[in-house]
Every structure is written in C-alpha cells, then in structure tokens.
Amino acid sequence: MLLAGGVLIKGGAHGLSGAAFAPGNVLVPGTAVVLAFAFAAFTGFESTVIYRREARDPNRTIPRATYVAIAFLGLFYAFMVWIVIQAFGNSEVIAAAAKNPGGLFFSAITTFVGGWAADLMHVFIVTSVIASLLAFHNAINRYVLALAEEGVLPRRLGRIHPRHGSPYVAGIAQTVLGAAVVLAFWAAHADPYQQLLLWVNTPGMIGLLLLL
C-alpha cells in the first residue's frame, strides 16, 4: 500500500494509464503459463474447508471466508500489478522485469517512496514467508489428521494433543519430513529456487490441480 500510495500521488512514470487491461495486452502468447502461475499463487484458498470442525457456524462462515479471500486477493493482486506497471511505464516495464525480476518491486518503491520503504519491504517479505509456511504447516497437519481418521494413513498420526487440541504427531512427522528433504537438497548442493522449490513444488501443484 505504501508503494501504491507513492505511485498514485506522483502519477507514475508517465502518468496513469489503464492500457494494461486492454484485451490485446492480456490475450497474448504465454497467457496460459501466467494463468498457471496465478493458480499457484492462490494455493490455499480451499484450506478454509479443513477448519469446519473449529468454526461455530461452518455452513455460513466457511463459504463466506472462502469467497471473501478469493475476491480480495484477486482484486488486490491485479491492482498491485497495475501499480508496478505505472511505476515503470507501459512500454518500459517489460524490459525492467526481464532485467531484474526479483528487484522490480524494490526498485519501484525506492523510486516512489524511498530506500527505507524498500528495507521495510524486505522485512515484510521474510515475515510473510514465515506466516505462509505456518499456514501450510497447519493445513497439512489437518489433512494428515483427516486421512489418519479415515484409515488412509496410520492412525497414530491422528493423535490430538491433550492440552492444545492440535494434531501434534502429524506436525512432528511433517517437520521431520520437511527437514529431511531440505537437508538432502543442501547435501547435494542444489539451487534453493531452481531445484528445491521448483522440483518439490511443481508436482504438488499438479497434484492439487488434479485433486480439485
């Protein structure tokens, strides 16, 4: 929002424009890949369902939470991408993204807000990754709990902590498995993004898509 405020107040690089939303700029070669990436970005929206047993009125709150999350994220993501396009200009943003894709947002917020905001963004990205990992950890634990209760996985994984009410055995098993995978890739000197993330994440995304 700091970035959006800075770009809107200063009018972007060459003035604000809605050309990015023109059909000719959307339906282009590579759109399918972008849509696949967008689907991956929304992974987790379906996890509201696994919290049914913990909601007071699940038939009302679970669907509402799901629709609100999808609507908010979709609109916010689209808005922020448009903001970044305005920060560089419609004709310059592609070259800027190709030159430094990882630093695109940092460069924009440095220009329109200040270096301190870029530092703050780095901190927020780290805390966001931690929050995201915790969310996935909780979701996977509850999937394992449900599968254990159905007899698909060993029933020991479905044990509930007597004090906290959490599926702690599933949590421990997931932590050990995750640590083993990361250590194996580390021992093989694999690239953290090109190999660890993509090799592990891609089959999971395909599996989730088939499951849905």
**pLDDT tens figures, 21-46:** 888 887 788 888 788 778 777 777 87
The pLDDT value recorded for residue 151 is 93
Question: If we measure between CA atoms, which residue out of 178, 167, 120 comes closest to residue 139?
Answer: 167
What count of Cα atoms within 13 Å lies in the side-chain half-sphere of residue 198?
A: 7
Predicted model pTM: 0.75
Look over the chain and give the mean of its residue pLDDT values, rounded to a whole number. 89
Share of the chain above pLDDT 70, in %: 100
Find the angle CA(136)-CA(139)-CA(143) to the nearest 5 degrees: 135
On the question of pLDDT at 184 being above 90, the answer is yes
**Overall average pLDDT of the 180-199 stretch:** 91
Q: How far is CA 158 from CA 52, 61, 113, 135, 155, in A?
A: 17, 25, 49, 19, 5
Percent of the chain at pLDDT > 90 equals 57
